[in-house]
Structure 1
Amino acid sequence: MLGIDDVANRIRSVGFRCLGCGACCRRVAEDSNLVLVSPAEVRKIMAATKMSWDEVAEPYPDFIESESGGQYTLAWCIRRNEDACIFLRDGRCSIYPHRPWICRTYPFMLVDDDLLVSECPGLGTPLSLHDAHVAAADLCRRQAAETAEEIGLRAAYQRAVVPPGKRAVIDSEGMKVLNG
């Protein structure tokens, strides 16, 4: 696992400054703005907005057929409207202090010991060592949170039995059968 200094050096070599353009929040291709969120992140947003679970999150759109005749998916996403995240208002994030890890660390992602970089107009902009360390620390915390979520998801998946004819989301908290 990479340390914060290693990640910071890699981020600094790429360079980045958020331009506030909101392009990452808009749908430019099918599922281009699909923001995966953990149950903990959904609850954090719910607390900040006083919205319900169903108002904040929707099931990941790809469902898998279960042996029982039901269907399941393994993730939640922030709800979207026709062209953008529901929290993009007047070109700005309305939940910015409570935004999910994926938004907080965009356009970067750690996968094992690799720094993945998504397309973004702000790439290539010089970054201070301090800002690179802040971004790296967030990425390392995100990676730890995603690892914990994955462990919880595996345990929940092993216990889950999707009811016949039903759809469900299996996450680190367990199985949630969907209405309708």
Structure 2
Amino acid sequence: MRTLDALADEIMATGFRCTGCGACCSEVSPGSNLVMVTPAEARAVADAAGRTFDGVAEPYPDFIEGEDGARYTFDWSLRREGGRCLFLREGRCTVYGARPWICRTYPFMLDGDRLAVFECPGLGGEMSREEARLLAALLIGRQEAEEAEEEGIRKVLASTAVPAGICAVVDSEGVWPVHG
């Protein structure tokens, strides 16, 4: 695993300053603003928004077809409306304090030890060493949270079968039948 300082150095060399344009929250190509969330993240967003879990999250749209007619996907994504995140209003995030890891770390992510950088108008922007270290810490936290969720899903799949003929979400907390 990379050290915090080495990751911060790479982030700082890339540079980033959010422009507040909202492009990351708006669909510019199919699925470009799809935000995958864990059950805990969806609950935090629901609490912040004063909504139910189902009011903020929907099944992640990539389904696997089982041989027995079961269809399932792993985890959830934030709901969208009109090509934008449900929580983007007047160019600002209405659940900013509870936003998911992916939103806190965009346009960066860790792919193993490699820093992946996605297109964003804020790239190349000036940032302080402290900001780069904070972002590096968030990226490491995100990677650890994603690995924990994946391990939880493996445990669920090892102990619970997706019932034949149903459509379901499999997450770290269980198997949840859904319509569709």
TM-score, L = length of structure 1: 0.96
- SS of residue paired to 2:20: coil
Q: Residue deviations 1:139-158, cap 9 Å, x none?
A: 11111111111110111122
Q: Find the counterpart in structure 1 of residue 45 from structure 2.
A: 45
Q: Find the counterpart in structure 1 of residue 11 from structure 2.
A: 11
Give distance in 2, aligned partners of 1:86 and 1:40: 18
TM-score, L = length of structure 2: 0.96
Q: Bigger CA drift: 156-165 or 16-25? A: 156-165
Amino acid at match of 2:124: G
Show the 5 A alignment for 1:127-138. 127-138=127-138
- SS of residue paired to 2:28: coil
Q: Residue deviations 1:11-67, cap 9 Å, x none?
A: 000000000000000011110000000111011112222211111101111111123
Q: Residue deviations 1:123-170, cap 9 Å, x none?
A: 001211111011111111111111111110111122232223210000
Q: Find the counterpart in structure 2 of residue 125 from structure 1.
A: 125
Q: Find the counterpart in structure 1 of residue 82 from structure 2.
A: 82
Q: Find the counterpart in structure 1 of residue 54 from structure 2.
A: 54
Show the 5 A alignment for 1:85-96. 85-96=85-96
Give distance in 2, aligned partners of 1:149 and 1:125: 32
Give distance in 1, aligned partners of 2:69 and 2:158: 17
Amino acid at match of 2:23: A
Q: Residue deviations 1:96-137, cap 9 Å, x none?
A: 010000000000001111000000000001211111011111
Residue 155, structure 1, aligned to residue 155, structure 2: yes
Gaps of 5+ in 1: none
Amino acid at match of 1:157: L
Give distance in 2, aligned partners of 1:174 and 1:130: 39
Residues 68 and 161 in structure 1, CA contact (< 8 A), matched pair in contact too: no
Q: Bigger CA drift: 122-131 or 158-167? A: 158-167
Residues 45 and 56 in structure 1, CA contact (< 8 A), matched pair in contact too: yes
- SS of residue paired to 1:175: strand
Give distance in 2, aligned partners of 1:99 and 1:152: 22
Q: Find the counterpart in structure 1 of residue 168 from structure 2.
A: 168
Residues 58 and 77 in structure 1, CA contact (< 8 A), matched pair in contact too: yes
Cα RMSD for the two superposed structures: 1.1
- SS of residue paired to 2:126: coil
Gaps of 5+ in 2: none
Q: Find the counterpart in structure 1 of residue 139 from structure 2.
A: 139
Amino acid at match of 1:56: V
Question: How many residues are treated as equivalent by the alignment?
Answer: 180
Give distance in 2, aligned partners of 1:82 and 1:49: 18
